[in-house]
Amino acid sequence: MLNGLWTLRLRQIPWGIVLVIMALGCFGLVVLFSAAGGHLDPWASRQGIRFGVLLVGMLVLAQVPSEFWLRYAYVLYGAVLLGLVGVEVLGAVRGGGQRWLDLGIIQLQPSEFMKLAIILALARFYHFVPRAFATSLTGLWPPLLMIAVPGALVMLQPDLGTALSIGFGGVAVMFLAGVRIWLFLSAGGAILAALPVAWTMLHDYQRKRVLIFMDPASDPLGAGYHITQSKIAIGSGGLTGKGFLEGTQSHLDYLPELHTDFVFATMAEEWGVLGGLAIIAGFGIILAWAVGVALRTPTQFGRLAAMGLACTLFFYLAINMMMVMGLAPVVGIPLPLISFGGSAMMTVLILLGIVMGIARAGRTERL
């Protein structure tokens, strides 16, 4: 009986996707092993344990039915928002930018969870709003407020990357929920039109100040060096790379943040375009699967959540890779599953666990 249920449950897990996730995670461990100069310490070993634990966590979360997320979406959102305020208060007390909530056993970064909570909360909002009202004033201001408040709080930390991620995810859900396209176009148009005018009105030092204000965490002087060295690492890798443990940019400290934000460059130097292709293909499979889940899911909440979460994951990937290739400014966004660090890995694996849960619901069609 119980056995039967378990086998059923196990069979419902999309093992192909789990395998892709594991492959990506293990590739990440290999890159971190090389980044430490061929040592498990200090990164690969810790990341490996973390990955193992969080992978199990993901499979557990995959068992959670999507009704649960629907029911508690606002509660979750509220809790995370409270956490953000708490961090802000703590920061004010201790002085300096604060991102962490230290609970003794674990350090939590509420802004990370907000990336997920905003998607779930907005999906729930639109789940109960008829499409006709989506573009009305009453249908517009709550989601905008729900995006703006945490976004502003995260900006205060200051963490431009995460704030953008929250905004991107939120707007993506609004778009998917059927908010009239002309709203996006006109909003986008207005912003685009205003940008050059505003920009030309500023003095050089003010522009710099704006840049620093928007992202104080990134050093504008250091950014140029970062990008140059990163491009050298990627470019010198060539098609097949310099070989495992043979990277010079990474091993000789030319590449900054080689194990976190610029881990893709570390990888590319040793594995070349083929390594990059492997990572992009791996994530491509995962994203395609998530989009497929969204398309198959019958409930408005489920499909909005699945697609919104896919957008959140995509935002991580796109910004990080564009940054290391010199296509985007340097914002501190890690490469999920590959970069060393618990927060991004936790966020992404929780996100994938939720999508797996939705996928199950979509397949069984019993919501």
Partner 1 sequence: MSGGISSASAANDPLFTRRAMLIGGGMAAVGGTLLARMTYLAVFEGEKYRLASEDNRVSLRLIPPRRGWIVDRAGLPLASNAPDYRVELIPEQVTDLDATLRAVGQVLSLSPEELARIHAEVARQPKYMPVELAHGLAWRDFATLNIRLPDLPGLVPVAGFSRTYPGGEAFAHLLGYVGSPTPAQYQVEHDPLLIFPGFKLGKDGIERTQDAPLRGIAGARRVEVNARGRVIRDLDTRSDTPGKTVRLTIDKGLQAYAARRIGDDSASVVVMDCQTGDVLCMVSMPAYDPNVFSTRVPADLWKALQASDHHPLLNKSAQGLYPPGSTFKMMTSLAILGSGISPDATCNCGGTYRLGNAIWHCWSRRGHGTTNLRNGLPRSCDVYFYTFGRAAGIEAIATMARKFGLGEKFDLPLAAQSAGLVPDSAWKERRYKKPWGIGETLNTSIGQGYLALSPLQLAVMASRLASGRVIVPRLLADEPKVPIPLLDIPPEHLAIVRHGMDDVVNGPGGTAHSAKLQVEGVGMAGKTGSAQVRRISMADRKAGRANTKFQPWKYRDHGLFVAFTPIEAPRYAISVVIEHGAHGAAAAVIARDVLTYLLEPERAYQVLGVIEADVAKRKAAAEKAATAADAEAIVTAPQTAVAGEATPD
List interacting residues with partner 1 (CB under 8 A). Answer: 65, 67, 70-71, 127-128, 131, 172, 175-176, 178, 229, 231-239, 248-249, 252-254, 268-269, 272-273, 276-277, 280, 283-284, 287-288, 291, 294-301, 303, 307, 310-311, 314, 318, 321-322, 325, 327, 365, 367
| Nearest distance, CB of residue 55 and partner 1, angstroms | 24
Which amino acid, residue 180? R
Q: How far is the CB of 116 from partner 1 (least distance, A)?
A: 18
* Locus of tokens 């979750």: 76
Q: Which is nearer to partner 1, 144 or 327 (CB)?
A: 327
Do 165 and 316 touch, CB atoms closer than 8 A?
Answer: yes
Q: Who's near 292: CB < 8 A, 6+ residues apart?
A: none
Of 106 and 277, which has the nearer Cβ to partner 1? 277
Alpha-helix residue ranges (DSSP H) falling in the chain: 2-12, 15-35, 44-61, 66-94, 110-127, 137-156, 160-176, 181-201, 204-214, 220-237, 248-251, 263-296, 300-324, 342-364
Q: What's phi and psi for 203, nearest 5 deg?
A: -80, 165
CB-nearer residue toward partner 1: 204 or 253: 253
CB of 107 to partner 1, least distance (A): 30
Pairing of the two strands 107-108 and 101-102? antiparallel
Residue 251 Cβ vs partner 1, minimum distance, rounded to whole Å: 8
156/322 with CB nearer partner 1: 322
- CA-based nearest residue to 187, from 138, 248, 129, 144: 144
Tokens of 242: 């310099």
Other CB atoms closer than 10 Å to residue 252's CB: what's the count?
8
Nearer to partner 1, 110 or 143 (CB): 143
Integer angstrom CA distances of residue 27 from 21, 285, 353: 10, 16, 20
Phi/psi-derived region of residue 241, left when phi > 0, alpha when psi is between -120 and 50, beta in every other case = left
Smallest gap from residue 47 Cβ to partner 1 (A): 23
CB within 8 A of 101, min separation 6: which ones? 83, 86, 87, 90, 107, 108, 109, 110
Give the shortest CB-248-to-partner 1 separation in angstroms.
4
Q: How far is the CB of 310 from partner 1 (least distance, A)?
A: 8
Report the nearest approach of partner 1 to the CB of residue 112 (Å).
22
- Residues contacting 42, CB < 8 A, separation 6+: 36
Residue closer to partner 1, measured from CB, 116 or 172: 172
CB-nearer residue toward partner 1: 128 or 205:
128
Q: Which is nearer to partner 1, 55 or 311 (CB)?
A: 311
In the complex, the smallest distance separating the C-beta of residue 315 from partner 1, rounded to whole angstroms, is 10
Name the residue nearer to partner 1 (CB basis): 21 or 307: 307
Greatest Cα-to-Cα distance within the chain, rounded to the nearest angstrom: 73
